[in-house]
Amino acid sequence: MAASNFVRRGAGVPAEAPDGERPRADKGPQGTGDALQVTREARDQTLVVRVVGDLDIRTAATFRQQVDEWFLASDHRRLVLNLSRVTFLDSTGLGAVLGRVRRVRDAGRQMVIVPPGGVSRAVLDVAALGRAVPLYRSERAALDEEAQTHA
Amino acid sequence: MPEAPYNHLALEVPSLPVNAELCRLTVAVFAAELPFTLGEIEQLKVAVAEAVGNCILHAYPGEPGRIALRARLADGAVVVDVEDWGRGIADVALARQPSYTTSTDPDHVGLGFAFMEQFTDALEVVSAPGRGTLVRMRKRPAHGQDAVGQQAGLSPRPEEGTGADGRPLRP
Ligand SMILES: Nc1ncnc2c1ncn2[C@@H]1O[C@H](COP(=O)(O)OP(=O)(O)O)[C@@H](O)[C@H]1O
Ligand SMILES: [Mg+2]
């Protein structure tokens, strides 16, 4: 049963989930499974995107698709990308983050990042991320800053 | 007395994206035998993920192919081999340059080898076009006991638990 669910969900068909369990549409050898969760919250002109889990060779495409759809295809002016709960970051994930920075800038919009800690932070620092985009200690600090610039 | 590496592993997986995680977690568990800090283990995970990721992205661009992951403990260090039998690299020195990439994806940063180098103590790359690539990485705990594991059968496993800084509690 577990095996057939695996294949069925992998094919993108929503599975009936037992009570309290979400269907995992992209579970499967090529999907992102539970490795990555990307969520959003709109606040006026600002869109907060929170990334929880592993941003790596398996999940980077999902991340980039979500951000492009939610932010670039919207009319939000400012993106707060909260990476503080990223648990693993490789060069593919780094490239996806830098690619969003470039595309947001090309679209003439603003972006700030709340970076992760530890080795993932070191991975971002190798690419001198702090020079390309403002970094904030916390999501609150990033949002407070916005309140000030709009005050 | 001959020096006996007291633990080793060999694993073969197809070049599917899901296996980058499988390999990095496997090596993390394997290496935890040595007194690495949590930060050092995280570094090792990134290095392994980059080597395996390159097999997935570059060695076998079409059909998935075989990736061999080998690890061994020797001389107080962990030695990790990631090998493929894919397209190979014509100029290894060039490929190892930071920001060098043959990918046409604008999101590819070409920092895989840079991270392998930065997060391990030694990196060797042997490759031949059309034959495949062997990446060998070695990492030693910065604050570990010297020559841990040189005596066969003597487990160097540190006491359970780590300090707030992620270092083993043992000096
Ligand atoms: N296992 C491999 N097989 C074939 N080519 C490889 C392999 N590993 C690396 N390369 C080559 O080396 C280049 C640099 O690798 P890397 O530093 O990881 O950057 P990236 O993966 O972002 O291109 C790749 O673009 C590729 O041309
Ligand atoms: Mg790479």
Q: Could you state, in order of their start, the residue ranges of all structural domains in chain A?
A: 33-149
Q: Write down the pLDDT at residue B4.
A: 54
Answer whether B45 touches A (CB < 8 Å): yes
Neighbours of A135 (CB within 10 A): 18
- The rounded distance, in Å, linking the Cα atoms of A56 and A53 is 9
Tell me the chain A residues in contact with residue B57 when contact means C-beta distances shorter than 8 Å: 57
Q: Write down the pLDDT at residue A74.
A: 93
Cβ pair A127, B111 in contact under 8 A: yes
> Which atom from ligand 1 is nearest to the alpha carbon of B98?
17
pLDDT of B78-103, one tens digit each?
999 999 999 999 999 999 999 999 99
Cα A17 to ligand 1 centre (Å): 40
Tell me the chain A residues in contact with residue B39 when contact means C-beta distances shorter than 8 Å: 118-119
| DSSP H helices in chain B | 18-31, 38-54, 92-95, 112-119
With a threshold of 0.95, tell me whether the complex ipTM lies above it.
Answer: no
Cβ pair A30, A10 in contact under 8 A: yes
Q: Give the strand pairing for A110-114 and A78-89.
A: parallel
Q: What is the mean pLDDT of each run of 10 residues along chain A (151 residues)?
A: 34 39 44 84 96 97 96 95 98 97 96 97 92 94 75 43
Q: Write down the pLDDT at residue B64.
A: 95
- The rounded distance, in Å, linking the Cα atoms of A6 and A12 is 10
- Residue with the bigger pLDDT between B107 and B152: it is B107
Tell me the chain A residues in contact with residue B18 when contact means C-beta distances shorter than 8 Å: 29-30, 58
Inter-chain touch A90–B56, beta carbons under 8 Å: no
pLDDT of B57-72, one tens digit each?
999 988 999 999 999 9
CATH architecture of A33-149: 2-Layer Sandwich (3.30)
Answer whether B9 touches A (CB < 8 Å): no
Smallest Cα distance from A43 to chain B, Å: 28
pLDDT of B41-50, one tens digit each?
999 999 999 9
Q: Which residues line ligand 1 (CB under 6 A)?
A: A 91; B 50, 54-55, 57-59, 84, 86-89, 95, 100-103, 108-113, 133
